[in-house]
Structure 1
């Protein structure tokens, strides 16, 4: 009797690799990238960039967003909720006016329906933008901004707004909720240069 090998699960690209913490983007870099994408008429990339910043989602969750996740009754929503693949827990995020405008422009440009993936794949073997392709897109943004590519990646997009919010509020618990982390330690790691301050606050608020 022939024994069939079970299908191999797709392994994360960074499994077994030592990957350094990726730096968040500064405000001036965010706007520089936006302007460059606008001038280049990169409608998809501009929507993807803005939504990545606003949502703070992991790459695997960002690329699987559907139009229905960010719209209600054909109109762009001000807030969205997504079930995270890694934790199975829901997380909410605000969609700013700038992001709503660019995402709406993208939806109209490619005539997406409510059930469609927001960022369809351009290759046949994936219905939505693959995470590897998203990583290459982020690398291109970083290169065009004149930044060191080794210091930035897809987690840069997830960390950027979280870091900005923490610097303004110093509210570690709020950032934990926004990122959908189950452990406070995970949030601390995302704060980069603020890690010492965050650890001190974590000790003070531990119950």
Structure 2
């Protein structure tokens, strides 16, 4: 089977059988096509590549400056691709089976302090009450406030947040039913402030004729029909600047980290945070253990009778 055909067949399987999201499929395609180009240059189709070719490819991307995390992601894509070829009897072996995964440096996630998050949310709420704002500016302010309150209250991935269907907001506003990675559903609770912000946003949305009939909670004129992640990120940085915060330290993903870290700092269980974040593996959530270690150290220092 030609490499291009094999890649297409693999992606179809990932979509149909495993429910891979479009962003995931596009990432696989980029990674596999890059590996295929390298393999072809050595005289072999990717479908015919041996362990030495795959190892040389990993050395090549390392030489191009790819981080260990990116190298590991590409090897993961190749592992799944060759496992698929083996399962489908297209190959009789898996050339990635003997390769070690590049070691990843577990960098700590950027987080905001509770005070900084409060400052950001307060500024967003204040801007919804600007009497001098145009109707368009007012709508954008109400939408941004709702996005931030929901994000910080739930820890959703930004892709999950902007693609929420409007039905989840109308059914029971105490909770959101979210479809995450691998088409897995999870229920996340909403805080009182998030419910209030969402209610005000829904009223503004429903009063806007070209938006009220949309299937999406945050509709937009785009290919997907909902607000682009990049637009939300750009609006968030603008708000951060107006709130006097360092814009380079703020993004939707940083707010997701803040949600998790602040829960753990205030006594939440790691397993509960794992479920709320939608992590399939607890090892992914364990990047936040430094927060728990700080909390436990403070607990012992403050309350143990023999502490210094």
Classify the TM-score, shorter chain: 0.7 to 0.9
Using the size of structure 2 for normalisation, the TM-score is 0.53
Kindly indicate whether the alpha-carbon contact (under 8 Å) linking 2:123 and 2:239 is maintained by their aligned counterparts in 1: no
Q: What corresponds to 2:127 in structure 1? A: 40
Matched, 1:67 2:166: yes
**Aligned-partner Cα distance in 2 for 1:174–1:185:** 13
Q: 1:148 to 1:11 in 2, by over 3 A?
A: farther
Match of 1:168 among 255, 266, 286: 266
User: Aligned Cα RMSD in Å?
Assistant: 3.4
Match of 2:177 among 67, 77, 81: 81
Point out the structure with max Rg over C-alpha.
2
Q: What corresponds to 1:140 in structure 2? A: 238
Q: 1:98-113, aligned counterparts within 5 Å?
A: 98-111=193-206, 113=212
Q: 1:108 to 1:89 in 2, by over 3 A?
A: same
Q: CA deviation at 1:138?
A: 2.4
Q: CA deviation at 1:70?
A: 2.1
The CA deviation string for residues 38-72 of structure 1, in whole angstroms up to 9 with x for no partner, is 22222111111101111211111111002211222
Q: 1:35 to 1:197 in 2, by over 3 A?
A: closer
Q: Gapped runs of 5+ residues in structure 1?
A: 1-5, 199-207
Kindly indicate whether the alpha-carbon contact (under 8 Å) linking 1:66 and 1:118 is maintained by their aligned counterparts in 2: yes
Q: Which has the higher contact order (CA 8 A, sep 6+)?
A: 1
Q: Secondary structure at the match of 2:156?
A: coil
In terms of fraction of residues, the more helix-rich structure is 2
Q: Which moved more, 1:170-179 or 1:98-107?
A: 170-179
Using the size of structure 1 for normalisation, the TM-score is 0.76
The CA deviation string for residues 104-123 of structure 1, in whole angstroms up to 9 with x for no partner, is 111111216586311111x4
Q: CA deviation at 1:34?
A: 2.2
Count how many residue pairs are aligned between Structure 1 and Structure 2: 190
**Aligned-partner Cα distance in 1 for 2:213–2:259:** 27
Q: 1:21 to 1:137 in 2, by over 3 A?
A: farther
